[in-house]
Every structure is written in C-alpha cells, then in structure tokens.
Amino acid sequence: MEGYPAIEDHGLIGDLQTAALVTCDGTIDWFCAPRFDSPSIFCALLDKDKGGFFQIAPHEVRYVTKQLYLPGTPILITRFISADGVAEVMDFMPVTGERVTDSHRVVRMVNMVRGTMRFRVECRPRFDFARESHELERHRNGYLFRSRSATLAFNPIDPVRQLWAKTGEIRMEDGDLIAYGTLQEGDTGGVVLETGSEEPRIIPPEEVQGMFEWTRDYWRRWVERSRYTGRWREMVERSAITLKLMTYAPTGAMIAAPTAALPELVGGSRNWDYRYTWVRDTSFSVHALLGLGFTEEVSRYMDWLDERIREAGDHQDPLKIMYRVDGSSDLHEEVLDHLEGYRGSRPVRIGNGAADQIQLDIHGEALYAMHLADEQGIRVSHQVWKSTVRLIDWLCHNWDQRDAGIWESRHHPRNYTFGRVMSWVALDRAIRLATRTGRPGDMSCWTEQRNRIYNQVMARGFHRERGSFVQAYDENVLDAALLYMPAVGFVTPTDPLWLSTLESIERDLVSDSLVHRYDPVHSPDGLPGHEGTFNMCTFWYVEALARSGRLDDARLTLEKMFTFSNHLGLYAEEIAATGEQIGNYPQAFSHLALINSALAVNDLLDAEASARLRR
C-alpha cells in the first residue's frame, strides 16, 4: 500500500517519559503524550490519511536523505541533499527527569549547510488516535492546537523570518498548519512543539542551543558510565541508549516498544499494543544492564518490580504479566475500526487483552532478576522479601498447571515446557537468595518442588523420538524459547540432550541464521497467518551456539544479524521473509538480547584468545 514508510525507515527520539518516531523524510508519524501509553497526537503510521503527522521537508526539490544519530546520543539528524543545497533537520526531546509532567517538547531545528532550499512545513495533529476533533488558534507568538483533552503549542524558533519569510506563506487549513519558507546557506530556523501548553511563544535561539547542549551532555555522560569496551561497541551502546529511551523515568519501568499495532505480518491481524511494561522483558534487561554497568537503572526497575511483587504476594496471587508504566494493571483492549492500520494491517488494537493471562514463566524471570541484582548489592527490603516468600509459596502449589506461555497464545492453555523451566528458575533463585542472605523461607518445600519440576521436564518435556525438548508436554512441536535453557542453568550447554535440541531447532526453526519462535501451522496459537523470524530468538541462538562450543558459528550469526538492523542500529520485533523489519518498533526484546549475546560472545572470544597465548 502506497504512502507508508518502511517500519525500519524511522529514528526514535524521546525524553524518558514518552517518545516519537521520525521518518527518513523528516516526518513525525508517531507521538503519544504525555506518556508512552497515552493517546496519540500523531499516528499516521497507522493511517496515512487520518492519523496525523508533522513534516519538515524540501518542497518541489529532488533530493536524497541520509539519517544518523549525533554520536553518543539519541539526537537525530536527517540530511536532505540536492544539487542546489544540503540541509539538516535535527530532532530531539529534552529529558524531562523523574517528575511526572504533561509538558513534553519536541525540538525540530533546521540548518542550511550549503546552497539554497525551499521547505514545506505541515503540522496536522489528530488527537486520541484521530477520535477527537481540535481547533487551531492563532496567537501573537505562535499557534495552539486544542482538543477536548489535550493541547499542543507550535512555538517558532527565532528568527522567525528565516524559515517563513512572509505572512502569506503560513496558512491555517481546517485546523492544520501549513507553511513554506526558503533558507540560504548559514540560515537556521525551526519549531518547538510543546504538549500541555496554553500560550505559544517565540523561542530564543540561545534557549534552543541550551536545550540541545543539555540533552547532548546528559546522554553522553550516561553512555560514558558503560564499562563495556569489547567488540561491537557501537551496536551495544546504541542498544543501551534505545533501552534507556524506552524507560519511564518516574518509575524506572521499561516498555516493550513505543508503538502499537505494527503488524507481525503486513496485512495480517497479529497487531498488538506494546506500550506497556512486561515483567518478562524488563527482567531480561537486568542482565544486559548489569553487564554494561548500569546499576542505577537496575535499582530503579527493581523498586518498581518490588512493588508488583508486594501487590501479588500480599494477595497471594501470581504476578500479572504486564502493567502500565505507573504500575496500574487496567489494559483494556479495544479495536480502532476507523483506522486502516499500517499498510492495511487490521485490526488496529490498543490496550492488551493478554494482560490477564496466566504465564508461569514470568516468576522465573522476576526471581532471576532479583537474584542478579542481589549479587550486585541491590537487595530487597524485609517487607518485599516477605511478599516474595508468599509469591514463591503460591508457585509451589500452582506451577503444575496449563498456561498461555511466553508467546501469549490466545489458543487453549497448554503444559508449556518453558513455563516449567522458568518455574524451576524461580524456586532455584529463591533458594539461593534465602541461603545467601540468611532470610527465612520454606526451604524444604521449595527444594522439593524445584526437584519435582526438574524431573518432570526431563521426563515429559524431552521428546525421545524427536531427540529434543519440545514446546509443550505430549507434543512434538519445537519452540525457540528453549534456547534460553542453558543461559539459566537448567541444562549445561554441552549436555547431549541439549545439543540434540539445538540441532533440531536449527533444522526446523532456523532459516539463513534467523530463528522462528515456533511453527504456527503445527502449533496453533489462535490466530490466522504466519509471522517473520523473531529477533530475540536469533540473538538467543547466537548465545546458545557460543556456549555450546561453536564460537565461529556464533560470531558469524551475530555479524549477519547486525546487517538486519536499520541505518541507525535499531531493530523491530521481527524480520520478514523479504528482509524488512516488522512488528512493533524499536523492540526492547531485540536490543536487550543483542547486548547479552554480544557480551557472551565477546567474553568467550577473549577467553579463547587468552588460551591461545598460554599455549
């Protein structure tokens, strides 16, 4: 369908409370405010005609574009190159900090590097996923878009005359703002969009420069805290910045992705809202962040997770699989029938109905994160430990049941092997924590149930005829989630049972080094159609290869995977058969798994090199 940019043709900017996507042609086509999970202001990504956008681009000029990040930052530079001139649009959002606010700024600075270029500026907001009408007000020093529930100020950057020289070149059209202006070499201009503002104003250039320098210095200071000095440093640091951009500073919670309803198959119905915090995703990120030395981020997330464990433990309930960034759990799913969806991919969903599923594995991810944090001196309080004990006691009595699994199947519940493995992890790490810290717990019960799970997985989770661990008991379907088994210590990476599992996964789920998470034809998940290869699983495959002694294969697979990132080093959820990125974007799963696999392969390569020197 014409009119939609490729998912990968976007850069991400953000202020640690919300984020926006900017295309290679200078269009903001996704922006929700005041939080990641708030209603949208621009969502042309989900409907090119109705969704709304904000574009600054050359007008009636043939040009090519190049896009890059200012090194060490998420400040995005879009370059427009023509025979007559070169211009740059610099997009960023000043960091808001840990105080919750409705005021969020998107700074768009235009700089004419060489020659002359005429620009078109179109600001067409469509509030609340194009469900709210709005009015455009002309003020003395700018413009204000006003809907029933939100405002958006259009604040020109001084000198105003350089980007729009004549009053006649700015017009209001059915609630939208369209402007034209010509820049000469050395000219600058731009605009600051601000949510929650009632009075537009002209922004002095020194104020914009101050915002730029503060934002640049904030991010570079943050990146400098990384202790990673190994191979692939640029990819690792870009992934770390991307994970940080998806973290809600007031609570420390990390969202799965800043977008909603981007399809796992273009034209298909696997279109989910990922603007929430999954216990699984963020707990996986603890290993990556600790590996880079970002203990402050881990500590903030653990505070958020501790609250969720207290809520669950105090009510003797399991953890919910996902929450809003503030910890609330109302994620009512609804379909936006008035939007056509990305390239016709319907339905367009916001909210997430999977929030109320039982997924046993999340307790393992949560306790694994708690265990890793504790090893780094990030310890839970007495009250949180009491709630953890109640949660583990609940798991002792409830692990042996069918659940929806890590992939959130909307088909019937099953006895998922991965859910049992991670339940084993939860009990094992709880035992280790209690032993290390001397804190109380029903160790005999925990140990007994841990051992029961282990024996059951070995008896029922391994398919003898297939020679592989399988997705669910009494079935012969494979699941790439099983690639995580050696990483958590359930099996050793050289165990014959594991090596035969790895061979089976390679034979059935790996395609040119890319990994499908499962085969929906043989493992019905309640949805029609198929999907692409899953990026996180490919990175898990890299780590599994490396730990199984196939270091050369691991390194080559990792290098191949880097070629599937976009021009900025960003990854969506999946890779289509065409090589395009698909699914919500960028995806935390993909970036945290990249970091973990790069850390593991780098360490093993260093160990191999050291061994050669000793010989």
Is residue 506 within 8 A of residue 499, CB to CB? The reply is no
Cα–Cα nearest to 284, from 323, 244, 304, 254: 254
Burial class of residue 166 (count of CB atoms within 10 Å of its CB; 0-12, 13-18, 19+):
exposed
Total-model pTM: 0.96
Which residue is it, tokens 């914009």?
208
The whole-angstrom distance between residue 604's C-alpha and the CA centroid of its chain comes to 27
pLDDT digits over 149-194, tens only?
A: 999 999 999 887 666 554 458 899 999 999 998 999 999 999 999 9
Question: What does the pLDDT average to over 494-519?
Answer: 95
Q: What is the percent of the chain with per-residue pLDDT over 90, rounded to a whole number? A: 90
Confidence of residue 529 (pLDDT cuts 50, 70, 90): low
Using pLDDT thresholds of 50, 70 and 90, give the confidence band for residue 3: confident
CB atoms within 10 A of CB 142: 22
**What band does 33 get if pLDDT is binned at 50, 70 and 90?**
very high
Task: Return the bridge partners of 579, or none.
Answer: none
What confidence score (pLDDT) does residue 523 get?
62
Q: Token digits for 3?
A: 């009119």
Tally: H helices and E strands in the chain = 13, 30
pLDDT of residue 166: 47
Mean pLDDT (whole number) for 84-95: 97
Q: Contact at 8 Å (CB) between 467 and 417?
A: no
d(CA 234, CA 137): 45
Say whether pLDDT at 32 is over 80. yes
pLDDT at 1: 52
Could you read off the pLDDT of 321-357 as tens digits, one per residue? 999 999 999 999 999 999 999 999 999 999 999 999 9
Does 410 or 235 have the greater pLDDT score? 235
Look at residue 525 in the predicted model and tell me its pLDDT. Answer: 62
| Beta-carbon-side half-sphere exposure of residue 537 (alpha carbons within 13 Å) | 25
The rounded distance, in Å, linking the Cα atoms of 531 and 528 is 10
pLDDT above 80 for 476? yes
Mean pLDDT of the chain: 94
* Residue 179 main-chain phi, psi, to 5 deg: -145, 155
Query: Is residue 416's pLDDT more than 90?
Result: yes
pLDDT (tens digit per residue) in 8-25: 999 999 999 999 999 999
Say if residue 411's pLDDT is above 90.
no
Q: Check if the beta carbon of residue 380 is closer than 8 Å to that of residue 302.
A: yes
Instruction: Tell me the per-residue pLDDT of 114-124, one tens digit each, with 9 for 90 and over.
Output: 999 999 999 99
Indicate whether 501 pLDDT > 60: yes
Q: What is the pLDDT of residues 533-571, one digit of tens each?
A: 999 999 999 999 999 999 999 999 999 999 999 999 999
Task: Give the CA diameter of the chain.
Answer: 80
Which of these, 506, 253, 281, lies nearest to 408 by C-alpha position?
Answer: 281
- Is-contact 85 115, C-beta < 8 A? yes
Q: What pLDDT, on the 0 to 100 scale, is given for residue 164?
A: 59
Q: Stretch 498-511: mean pLDDT, rounded? A: 96
Task: Quick: pLDDT tens for 443-463.
Answer: 999 999 999 999 999 999 999
Taking each helix axis from N to C end, the angle separating 382-398 and 295-314, rounded to the nearest 10 degrees, works out to 60
Residue 315: pLDDT band with limits 50, 70, 90: confident
Taking the CA atoms of residue 305, residue 306, residue 307 and residue 309 in that order, the dihedral angle to the nearest 10 degrees is 90
